Amino acid sequence: MTVPASTIWVINPNTTESMTAAMVDCARAVVAPGTHVVGVTSEIGPASIESHYDEALSVPGVLRAVERGERGGADGYVIACFGDPGLDAAREVASGPVVGIAEAAMRTASYLGRGFSVVTTLGRTMGRAADLAEHYGMQRFCRGIHACEIAVLDLDGDPEARKIVTEACRDAIEADGSDVVVLGCAGMADMCASISADLGVPVVDGVTAATLTAQSLVAMGLRTSTRGEFAAPPPKDYLTG
């Protein structure tokens, strides 16, 4: 029996192309033969997402990317920012499944132990992560959310970043008594293996977790239900400022 090839669009909700490239590399390393990963950088919005304001203004770009994907043959989508911006809206307009990296990371971690610790970038984003943990039913597994206070765009440039993130993870599992680490930023994807090796616990990166979740949903022929809330949005007049 042969599962047909599928194409997953990994959408970076910020406008920084180097981040897109790095996360696509991570996703490609784990997908099955026949799964094509397409990286897409948002064309409008903030260069990185570190506030509710940034996140709100990233959503129109995410939705525009999904609309392009619909015309471009995407079978499934990943929204690759840990705030999962625009996820509900994207599900209304996509014909294939849409997976956020926070939801996939947390749910993946929930298979691996009793509790996980999230380690994210700036402390001001911890509230959003807590909201999502609750929204996804993962509050009972999420034992703590911690910040390493490195700005998103410094994760790549700062030579000390990997070390700081690793130590934040070590402190987190100790403080929380948790079994698993969840990396709280798409920009940390390429640190996943080394942190796991250093700490001796499973470390989950949302970009790979979400891409494989999308791959699996496509393989099973599953997509967002259109029975009610997530049916295509009713047509409407829009003013563009």
Residue 138 touches its own copies, criterion: CB under 8 A: yes
Given candidates 71, 159, 160, 238, which one binds its own copies under the rule CB under 8 A? 238
Which 3 state secondary structure label does DSSP give 220?
Answer: coil
Structure tokens at 45: 């919005």
Closest contact distance (angstroms) between CB of 52 and its own copies is 4
Q: Tokens 């298979």 identify what position?
A: 111
Reference 63, options 241, 237, 232; nearest CA is 232
Query: x/- contact string, 83-112, with its own copies (CB under 8 A)?
Result: ---x-xx-xxx---x-x---x---xx-xxx
Residue 230 touches its own copies, criterion: CB under 8 A: yes
Residues 6 or more apart whose Cβ sits within 8 Å of residue 127: none
Q: How many residues sit in the footprint of its own copies (CB under 8 A)?
A: 103
Footprint (CB under 8 A) of its own copies, residues 46-85 = 46-48, 50-57, 59-61, 63-64
Given candidates 72, 73, 137, 157, which one binds its own copies under the rule CB under 8 A? 137
Given candidates 18, 21, 43, 73, which one binds its own copies under the rule CB under 8 A? 43
Given candidates 123, 149, 163, 194, which one binds its own copies under the rule CB under 8 A? 123
Footprint (CB under 8 A) of its own copies, residues 179-208 = 179-180, 193, 196, 200-202, 204-205, 208
Residue 140 touches its own copies, criterion: CB under 8 A: yes
Residue 239 touches its own copies, criterion: CB under 8 A: yes
Which 3 state secondary structure label does DSSP give 47?
Answer: coil
For 63, half-sphere exposure in the C-beta direction (CA atoms, 13 angstrom radius) is: 15
Task: Give whichever of 51 and 198 is closer to its own copies, judged by the CB atom.
Answer: 51
Residue 223 touches its own copies, criterion: CB under 8 A: yes
With beta carbons less than 8 A apart as the criterion, state whether 180 and 204 touch.
Answer: yes
Closest contact distance (angstroms) between CB of 149 and its own copies is 12
- Phi, then psi, of 77 in degrees rounded to 5: -135, 150
d(CA 87, CA 102): 11
Residues 6 or more apart whose Cβ sits within 8 Å of residue 160: none
Segment contacting its own copies (CB under 8 A): 162-170, 183-191, 226-234? 226-234
Residue 237 touches its own copies, criterion: CB under 8 A: yes
Residue 175 touches its own copies, criterion: CB under 8 A: no
Give the dihedral sign, CA 8/9/12/18: positive
List the end-to-end C-alpha distance of the chain, in Å, as a whole number. 52
